[in-house]
Chains A and B, each alone.
Chain A
Amino acid sequence: MEEQKRNKKSIEKLLPTMLFLLLIFGFTAISLFTPIKKFSENENRVLAQRPKFQWNSLWKGTYTKDYETFITDQFFKRDAWIGIKTWTELAMQKKEINGVFFARDDYLIETQKKEEVDTKQLEKNEEWLLKFISKYEKLFGSDRVHAMLVPTASEVLADKLPKFAQTYSQQKLLDEMKTNFPKGTFLDVGETLKQHTEEYIYYKTDHHWTAQGAYYAYEQWAKACEFLPWDSSKFQIEKVNDSFYGTIYSKINIKTTKPDEIYLYQTKETYQVEYDMDRKKKDTLYEKSHLETKDKYSVYLDGNHGIVQVDTNIQDNADRKLLILKDSYAHCFTPFAVNHFPVTYMIDLRYFNMPISQFIKNYQITDILVLYNVRSFITDKNLYKIVR
């Protein structure tokens, strides 16, 4: 009797327990036999590899830590698991998940909390930028030297954020900075962009602005340079892709929204583009091969490079050369700016080590634009190079 009861109970527990064992051993087997990946296209980063065993690193505790990162990074179907987490959080009524707001009109917008802003780094960056702009404003004039810090979607599209959501006020920062800079050198594009919030000026799944957003900023910059901005009708606007899931999507990995579209602004001018001084001239501003990859935004001027030189057949301002010091927000802006200069240089301080003052002298630069988005300006660790 006792024995019988026991058996009955055991049968009852058989299925759940077997499921548990199946899950533990099954996933272990799968994770052992999944091929090791070098790079995650989705997250756009190098994944941790199996650490080499060394007694030394074992004692220091680095081996064990690296091994755990390795397992986590290489876990099979990593992106799908993160998607499951996002669904769970959505079910729990979370408004922000992994630093991403689920905003109105299908926008995914990165959060930026006041407490998270590194004010020390920001103050330094402000100081360097001000020093740099002031120096060249005196040399070249306020119509030839500009700083443009582009607010990101969390600022410009603030109306689309979830109810009560609060973010760091980028506009306040811009307002403060504006008063410190030599008159006319600090271009505040926040107001301009805010007039177009119902247009497609930011990607819904990526942290960049769109070419259309960049166009409005370009108009403002051109006016500040005392140029006549090209009318948008002068461009052939070509939709080249409609399946772009950007960097913000990669943080949450669920397709609650439609993919983004990518537009190229084509002209009849001729361009010669040289990347990293490799002496290979390309005749287009757009590298369409990237549209086949995950990182489709790189279609604009081939993504990140230390230095990019663009020669044009433009006759205006024949003796002038523009230098753009920038982050990736400039990649879709520069195609507009190059139309006013025979030569334009674009430099990414992360990958460029020649002192900027020397570069300006050696290459006879006459016009300067510093273009960053506010988020990356705040956190940038390379701006000290600007004053060298």
Chain B
Amino acid sequence: MVFSSLLFLFRFLPIILFIYFIVPKRFRNAILFLFSLIFYAWGEPIYVVLMLFSTVVDYTHGILVEKFKNEGQIKKAKMVVASSMTINLLLLGFFKYSDFIIQNINQLFKISIPLLNLALPIGISFYTFQTMSYTVDVYRGQAKVQKNIISFGAYVALFPQLIAGPIVQYKTIDNQLNNRKENFDQFSYGVMRFLSGLGKKVLLANNIGLLWDTVQKIPSMELPALTAWLGITAYAFQIYFDFSGYSDMAIGLGHMFGFRFLENFQYPYMSKSITEFWRRWHISLGSWFRDYVYIPLGGNRKGLPLQIRNIAVVWLLTGIWHGASWNFLFWGVYFGILLIVEKLFFLKILNRLPKIFSHLYALFFIWIGWVIFALEDFGKVGEFLKAMFGGGAGFANTSTWYLLSNYGLIFLILIAACTDFPKRITIRLFGNSEWNLAEEKEEKTIIKQKLRIAASSIFIVTIFLLSVAYLVDASYNPFLYFRF
């Protein structure tokens, strides 16, 4: 099931909200667990077993780690962690990468091992990463062991972040699992977040996605440079608003049920370097690799050569995490190289240059990255890049102007929406408002508060009604993360 559907809004959500809040607190995790399973099984009735398996594995491993640690048998505890890692990675490897590996072996040795043709279980890359983090956190003493399998199941299957993240590390919601206090303020904030996410996905991402869809279908020989740039810009906006929209919805839903997930996006397209971009884009994935790969490998503490090796490893993995295909691996390597170059010397130069140049530099390389990411086939990537620099069909043609006339206004809206401009303007107009959970200063006037109530009510109703209208029409509403 996905959030951006009538099914979710008008069946699943009302039912779970109702049941969740009428049952006594001690049953709430069970309700969450049960409904999360339904949420997952709706689209993947068989693979839900896989998720349950992963849950049981890490539940038992967690307990074992704790037991051995208490008995002082650190070596055994380590073995258990290794076993958990192995099982999770085998699971992920088997379902996600086996066909990719078979294909490459076939090609390399000119043989033909039959493919398994397994459908990728949705969200497997997210939940295996979460369950692994649990066992490691317990081993490191950063999290308490979870003795209650229902609570642990609720953590693994938690439907808000189940299928498209953010990747919630166990230690960050350890306490919340059994001792959270749902309250009205947090619920309201959750509603606001959920609706901004829904709007981002349904109204912005789907809309501009159509443009990328159109441009993608144009043969590269007929593709003028400007159209190619419009197309890849459309993709950049689509994936950002889609992905961060999902994260907003996840974080929002989390708040409704009393959880506080960490932020996953922080205006990535405002970055002034690639290093900064990756601190602002899919933050939960970056932190996961930092905490469970980069730092264990030694991070930056063992000298520059080893640090560069560590960066390289992390980025190979980051790339291939996004999908079992060479282009994703290459995409990771591409960013790895840029990050190493920045680390070695370029960041120092960038800092001295005018801001505008740094912004353009970052966006340029992010955009080229999206070409590699979106097109999946190296031949197509090459042709598209060529077209972007005039090697397709000149600079522009009639259809370029047509696309611009159709999408010009939407582009302006998207450009504004991917910066912190809307947030700053609402704060200026209405004071420090719903958008921010931070404690407010004393109200200046009662008028400002009334304005705020009016504005947020209008915001909620408008976004909601428009999103429903787009969902009823249901012409274009893709799920972009089926390869993750």
Also in contact, A59 and B402, with CB within 8 A (given A13-B434, A15-B453): no
Q: How far is the CB of B384 from chain A (nearest CB, A)?
A: 16
CB of B128, distance to nearest CB on chain A (Å):
22
At the interface, yes or no: B19 with Cβ under 8 Å from chain A? Answer: no
Instruction: Quote the shortest CB–CB distance from A59 to chain B (angstroms).
Output: 6
Chain B: which residue is nearest A88 at the CB level?
B466
Residues of A within 8 A of B475 (CB): 98
Q: How far is the CA of A300 from the CA of B373 in the complex (A)?
A: 53
When the two chains form their complex, are residues A59 and B185 in contact, meaning their CB atoms are under 8 A apart?
Answer: no
Nearest Cβ on chain A to B434's Cβ, whole angstroms: 7
Q: A95-108 vs B: 1/0 string, CB under 8 Å?
A: 11010000000000
User: Does B7 lie at the interface of the complex (its beta carbon under 8 Å from any beta carbon of A)?
Assistant: yes
Residue contact A95 to B405, C-beta cutoff 8 Å: yes
8 Å CB contact of B474 from A12, A72, A88: A72
Cα A162 to Cα B403 with chains together (Å): 11
Contact string, B182-204, partner A, CB cutoff 8 A, digits 1/0? 00110111011001000000010
> Which of A6, A72, A94, A164 is in CB contact (< 8 Å) with B472?
A72
- Tell whether, in the assembled complex, residue B406 and residue A94 are in contact, meaning their CB atoms are under 8 Å apart: yes
Across the interface, do B195 and A20 meet the contact criterion of CB distance under 8 Å?
yes
**A21 / chain B contacts, CB cutoff of 8 Å:** 17
Residues of chain A lying within 8 A (CB to CB) of residue B402: 95, 162-166
Q: Is A50 an interface residue (CB 8 A)?
A: no
Do A93 and B405 touch (CB < 8 A)? yes
Q: Which residues of A1-55 have CB atoms within 8 Å of chain B's CB atoms?
A: 6, 8-10, 12-17, 19-21, 23-25, 27-28, 31
Q: Given that A95-B405, A115-B218 are known contacts, is A58 also in contact with B45, CB under 8 Å in the complex?
A: yes
Name the one of A16, A17, A67, A93 contacting B409, with C-beta atoms under 8 angstroms: A93
Q: Is the CB of B6 within 8 A of A71?
A: yes
Cα separation A78 to B469 with both chains bound (whole Å):
8
- Do residues B46 and A96 form an inter-chain contact, with CB atoms below 8 A? no
Contact A27 B468 (CB under 8 A): yes
Give B183 Cβ to nearest chain A Cβ, in Å.
8
Q: Bound state CA distance, A88 and B203, in angstroms?
A: 10
Which residues on B sit within 8 Å (CB–CB) of A23? 460-461, 464-465
Is B266's beta carbon under 8 Å from chain A?
A: no
Would A72 and B471 be within 8 Å (CB), given that A28-B14, A93-B406 are in contact? yes
Minimum Cβ distance to chain A for residue B1 (Å)? 8
A13–B14 CB distance below 8 A: no
Q: Which residues of A contact B46 (CB under 8 A)?
A: 59
Q: How far is the CA of A133 from the CA of B475 in the complex (A)?
A: 39
A82 touching B472 by the CB < 8 A rule? yes
**Closest Cβ–Cβ distance, residue B83 to chain A (whole Å):** 32
Q: Which residue in B11, B405, B464 is a CB contact (below 8 Å) of A164?
A: B405
Mostly, the A contact residues are: helix
Q: Does B86 touch A at the CB level, under 8 Å?
A: no
Quick one: CB contact mask for B433-467 with A, threshold 8 Å, 1 for yes?
A: 01000001001000001001100110111001110
Q: Does B357 contact A (CB under 8 A)?
A: no
- Contacts A6-B185, A61-B43, A115-B218 hold; do A16 and B398 have CB atoms under 8 A apart? no
B408: which A residues are within 8 A, CB to CB?
A: 93
Query: Do B406 and A96 touch across chains, with their CB atoms under 8 A apart?
Result: yes
- Which chain A residues border B479 with CB–CB below 8 Å? none
Any chain B CB within 8 A of the CB of A84?
yes
Q: Which residues of B contact A359 (CB under 8 A)?
A: none
Contacts of A84 in B (CB 8 A): 465-466, 469
What separation, in Å, do the CA atoms of A67 and B469 have in the docked complex?
A: 19
User: Per-residue 0/1 for B1-42: is the Cβ within 8 Å of any A Cβ (1 yes, 0 no)?
Assistant: 000011101110110010000000000000000000000001
Residues of A within 8 A of B466 (CB): 84-85, 88
A19-B457 contact, Cβ under 8 Å, with A71-B7, A72-B6, A166-B398: yes
Q: Is the interface of B mostly helix, strand, loop or mixed?
A: helix
Q: Within the assembled complex, what's the spacing in Å between the Cα atoms of A134 and B453?
A: 74
B217 within 8 A of A: yes
Task: Give Cα A113 to B406, complex, Å.
Answer: 15
A68 at the interface (CB under 8 A from B): yes
B367 within 8 A of A: no
B211 to chain A, nearest CB (A): 11
With A16-B453, A20-B195, A164-B402 already in contact, the answer to whether A64 and B42 are too (CB < 8 A) is: yes
A10 to B440 alpha-carbon distance, docked (Å): 13
Point out which of A27, A68, A113 has the most chain B C-beta atoms below 10 A from its C-beta: A68
**Number of B residues with CB within 8 Å of any CB on chain A:** 59
A95 engages B468 (CB within 8 Å):
no
A16 touching B469, Cβ below 8 Å: no
Least CB distance, A194 to chain B, in whole angstroms: 20
Q: Which residues of A have CB within 8 Å of B406?
A: 93-96
Interface assignment of A92: CB less than 8 Å from any CB of chain B: yes
Q: Is the CB of A28 within 8 A of B469?
A: no
A85, B460: Cβ atoms closer than 8 Å: no
- Interface: B278 (CB within 8 A): no
Known: A115-B218, A164-B402. A78 touches B10 (CB 8 A): no
- Closest beta carbon of chain B to A115's beta carbon, Å: 4
Tell whether, in the assembled complex, residue B184 and residue A10 are in contact, meaning their CB atoms are under 8 Å apart: yes
Asked if A75 is at the interface (CB within 8 A of a chain B CB), the reply is yes
- Are A16 and B191 interface neighbours, CB within 8 A? yes
Chain A residues with CB under 8 A of B192: 16
Inter-subunit contact A16/B473 (CB<8 Å): no
Contacts of A140 in B (CB 8 A): none
Q: Are B184 and A13 in contact (CB under 8 A)?
A: yes
Find out whether the CB atom of A17 lies under 8 angstroms from the CB atom of B43. no
CA distance A31 to B473 in the complex (A): 16
Chain B residues numbered 33-88 whose CB sits less than 8 Å from any CB in chain A: 42-46
Q: How far is the CB of B18 from chain A (nearest CB, A)?
A: 8
- A38: min CB distance to chain B, Å: 19
Q: Is the CB of B470 within 8 A of A19?
A: no
Distance, CA A10 to CA B456, complexed state (A) = 13
Minimum CB–CB distance from A211 to chain B (whole Å) comes to 32
* A81 at interface by CB-CB < 8 Å: yes
With A and B bound together, what is the CA distance between A207 and B97 in angstroms? Answer: 48
Complex contact A68–B5 (CB within 8 A): yes
State how many angstroms separate the Cβ of A313 from the closest Cβ of chain B.
Answer: 50
Interface check B401, CB cutoff 8 A: yes
Given contacts A93-B408, A96-B406, A164 and B398 within 8 Å (CB-CB)? yes
Whole-angstrom distance between the Cβ of B241 and the nearest chain A Cβ? 15
Contact of A88 among B185, B187, B469 (CB under 8 A): B469
User: Does B410 count as interface, using CB distance less than 8 angstroms?
Assistant: yes
User: B399 in the interface, Cβ–Cβ < 8 Å?
Assistant: yes
Is the pair B45, A16 in contact by a Cβ cutoff of 8 Å?
no
Q: Give Cα A252 to B118, complex, Å.
A: 40
Is A81 touching B409 in the complex (CB atoms < 8 A)?
no
In the complex, which of the residues A9, A20, A67, A162 contacts B191, with contact meaning CB atoms closer than 8 Å?
Answer: A20
Contacts of B189 in A (CB 8 A): 13
Q: In chain A, what residue has the closest Cβ to B203?
A: A88
Residue of B nearest to A83 (CB): B469
User: Do the beta carbons of A17 and B191 come within 8 Å of each other?
Assistant: yes
A81 near B469 with CB under 8 A, answer yes
Residues on A with C-beta less than 8 A from B45 are: 58-59, 61, 64
Q: Which residues of B lie under 8 Å from residue A12 when comparing CB positions? A: 449, 452-453
Q: Are B10 and A24 in contact (CB under 8 A)?
A: yes
Chain A residues whose CB sits within 8 angstroms of the CB of B7 once the complex forms: 67-68, 71
Task: Tell which of B188, B409, B452, B469 touches A82, judged by Cβ atoms closer than 8 Å.
Answer: B469
Q: Within the assembled complex, what's the spacing in Å between the Cα atoms of A58 and B41?
A: 10
**Which 7 A-B residue pairings sit nearest by Cβ, starting from the closest?**
A164-B402, A13-B188, A84-B469, A81-B472, A115-B217, A16-B456, A85-B469
Can you give 12 A-B contacts (C-beta < 8 A)? A9-B440, A13-B188, A16-B460, A17-B187, A17-B191, A27-B10, A28-B10, A31-B10, A59-B45, A71-B7, A84-B465, A162-B405
With A28-B10, A82-B473, A93-B410 given, can you name 11 additional A-B contacts, CB distance below 8 Å?
A: A8-B443, A13-B434, A16-B456, A20-B464, A24-B17, A61-B43, A72-B474, A98-B473, A162-B402, A164-B402, A166-B402
